[in-house]
Amino acid sequence: MNKRLLLVFLMVAGMLPAMAQVQYGTSQYGVRMNIGYNHNTTYGSFATFDFGAFMPINQHFEMQADLRFSTARNHSLGVQVRPKFPVPVGEFFIEGRLLAGLYPRDGFNDLTQALAVGYRMEYVSFQVGMSTRLIMESPYDWHANSNIIVEPFNICYKLEVFVRPQTSPWNISLCASNMTDYQIERVWEPIFMANGMYNIDQNWQINLSALCKPTGMFHLNAKYYAAEVRAGFAYNF
Amino acid sequence: MKRITILSISAILLCACNPDTWNFDVTGMFSGSSAGINERIEDSFRYNDEHGFSVINATSEKYNVFVATDTHVDRSRTNWEQFINAYRADINCPLAIHLGDLVNAQNHWDYMKRPLDSIASNPLKRDTLLTVTGNHDLYFNQWSEYVRLWKTSTYYTIVRTPLGKQDLYIFIDTGEGILGEKQTKWLKETLAWADGQAFRHLVVCTHTHLFKRDSSQGHTSNMPLEETYALLHLLKEHNVEMFWCGHDHAREITNLGQMKSIIVDALFDREPHPAYMVAACGDEPISYRFVELTPLVE
């Protein structure tokens, strides 16, 4: 199992161009689509189909929407809003997220709200915040009085490092976070990602990404839990 | 930048050390040296295959189960001894359960075990202590020590009353926050088998908690979300009455439909509010109370 974990880490570390979800300095609206191969020890292997839109409304505000369908029947729908405050070097931003996780396979849905503050510049992006999760049985039983579970406070964080300035036509980044566009994990479940992108021309971009999600890191007995490899394209207007 | 780097490295080292022996296991955060879940399951199943599952005979239709967790025995074991004294003195307790983290780290196993050998039971009854492994029983490569003393961490036991009613207690290993493929398969098969057996009570016992509803997730990690929902679905699908766990050190009772999930308080000597649970199992739904111990720390 350790070899498997090491292999996944090496794969992630060596991954070339992947998707840059939000490029600092981008002013183009864009849509994107990705197809992914996923594996975790709970579901086994499954495929994911992701669709997203990025909307830089103006210099001080941008939005993002994400939708994921999964053959493992755990889907998600998320919206992110991001007021931005440019400073002489880089920019501060506040990120609000609303993420609905649909788990028809298990008869549960969850709704996670997150609010984070962040700072990003050409080579680095960092954010930290709090999230709240509501977990509901599905279908919801309106006559029961005990089928919503609230996890009120969870810390969320993200640190992403880019090898080139974020405005470059190609880039690679390494990221550690408990947030992806499709899931906000508990604080002690970090997810390690490698992302990259390549702009074919002014409109078309290809991207490739990989992630590894171990479990038991803070049990001091970390083992492989999940991995994902995604490829896709974006069209920027 | 230099200061941040030094602080970050110090934080990682502190996260990964055993303060009693000053052993470090930083690599455990990235690739644990202890046996993984599938290896542990193999060890547990091997023992189960050779010895079968136990049946415990209760002496009355309504009996008590004493439940403790997170004893973290290291330099002292006062609360642990109080717990052993209490369940052994209860004439109506055929079964006590420990939900993991028996020791705080390595080198304390025999010290932890000694009271079990020396404290006498009530001569009018027999009792059994059953355990599951917790993360503190695992890291620093302690699985072999756990197996030496407790043999298995994935199993079930049946408590049979004088009138032949039967209660099923299933123990699962979540010492690193996942069930793994083999254990999940075993749990599914065991719960499916239990469906046809008309057990009076069905309880699942483990170490790691499903949810964290109080105001922080500060010091305990639980399962990945996918695993949480899949396990919860399984428990509900098979009408598990109660899910008993520990790990968090803070009592938390969650009702979800017909199922109740209980995080039992820690019994750690350095815990400000140590307590254990006494569950009463009769013909009605299981009732429970908590026994608060006098704190040994300010």
Question: What digits encode the pLDDT tens for the residues B109-163?
Answer: 999 999 988 887 777 778 899 999 999 998 888 999 999 999 999 999 999 999 9
pLDDT at residue number B6: 60
Q: Which residue has the higher pLDDT, A51 or B21?
A: A51
Domains, chain A, in order of start with CATH, read: 2-236 (2.40.160.40)
Backbone angles phi and psi of B239, in degrees to 5: 55, 45
| pLDDT over 70 percentage in chain B | 87
- For residues A61-81, give the mean pLDDT: 97
Put simply, the answer to whether B36 touches A40 (Cβ < 8 Å) is no
Output b/e per residue, A7-32; b: 16+ Cβ within 10 A. ebbeebeebebbbbbbbbeeeeebeb
Q: Which of B29, B225, B235 to mutate to test the interface with A (most CBs of A within 10 A)?
A: B225
Is B138 close to A147, i.e. CB distance below 8 A?
Answer: no
Interface confidence, given as ipTM, is 0.87
- Residues in B touching A147 (Cβ below 8 Å): 256-257
Instruction: pLDDT band for A1, please (50, 70, 90 cuts).
Output: very low
**What is residue A105's three-state secondary structure?**
coil
Across the beta sheet with B287-292, what order do the strands follow? Answer: B128-131, B95-98, B63-68, B275-281, B287-292
What is the model's pLDDT at position A139? 80
What is the pLDDT at residue A20? Answer: 37
- Give the chain A residue nearest B247 (alpha carbons): A219
Is there a contact between B220 and A74 if contact means CB atoms under 8 Å apart?
no
Minimum Cα–Cα distance from B182: chain A residue? A41
Per-residue pLDDT at A167 exceeds 90: no
Instruction: Tell whether the model's pLDDT for residue B8 goes beyond 70.
Output: no
Nearest to B233 among A2, A106, A146 (CB): A106
Higher pLDDT, B120 or B44: B44
**Does the structure show a pLDDT above 50 at A16?**
no
**Residue of chain A whose alpha carbon sits nearest to that of B178:** A215
Is the pLDDT at B219 greater than 60? The verdict is: no
What's the average model confidence in pLDDT over B262-281?
Answer: 95
Task: Count A/B contacts: CB-CB distance under 8 Å.
Answer: 149
Domains of chain B, by residue range, sit at 1-33, 35-212+220-292
Split at pLDDT 50, 70, 90, the class of A4 is low
Residue of B nearest to A212 (CA): B30
Q: In angstroms, what separates the C-alpha of B88 from chain A's closest C-alpha? A: 32
Q: Which fold has domain B35-212+220-292?
A: Purple Acid Phosphatase; chain A, domain 2 (3.60.21)
Quote the pLDDT of residue B28. Answer: 67
Distance in Å, alpha carbon of A133 to nearest chain B alpha carbon? 10
The mean-pLDDT minimum among A13-22, B67-76, B254-263 falls in A13-22
Whether residues A135 and B211 touch (CB distance < 8 A) is answered with: yes
- Between B113-127, B168-182, B219-233, the lowest mean confidence (pLDDT) is in B113-127
Binary contact (B211, A5; C-beta < 8 A): no
User: For residue B54, what are its two tokens?
Assistant: 């136990």
Give the distance from residue B134's alpha carbon to the nearest chain A alpha carbon, in angstroms.
9
Cα distance from A183 to chain B (closest Cα, Å)? 9
Mean pLDDT of A153-158: 92
- The pLDDT score that the predictor gives to residue A170 is 95
Identify the pLDDT of residue B212: 79
Per CB-CB distance under 8 Å, the chain A contacts of B232 are: 106, 108
Of A1, A2, A188, the CB nearest to B221: A188
Is the pTM above the cut of 0.90? Answer: no
Tens digits of residue pLDDT in A201-226: 999 999 999 999 998 777 667 888 99
Percent of chain B with pLDDT strictly greater than 90: 70
B292 pLDDT higher than 50 = yes
Higher pLDDT, B102 or B216: B102
In chain B, the residue whose alpha carbon lies closest to the alpha carbon of A213 is B224
Among A221, A224, A225, A228, which would you mutate to test the B interface (most chain B Cβ atoms within 10 Å of its Cβ)? A221
Per-residue pLDDT of B227-257, as tens digits, reads 999 999 999 999 999 999 999 998 999 988 8
The average confidence (pLDDT) of chain B is: 88
Task: Say which residue, B296 or B289, is predicted with more confidence.
Answer: B289
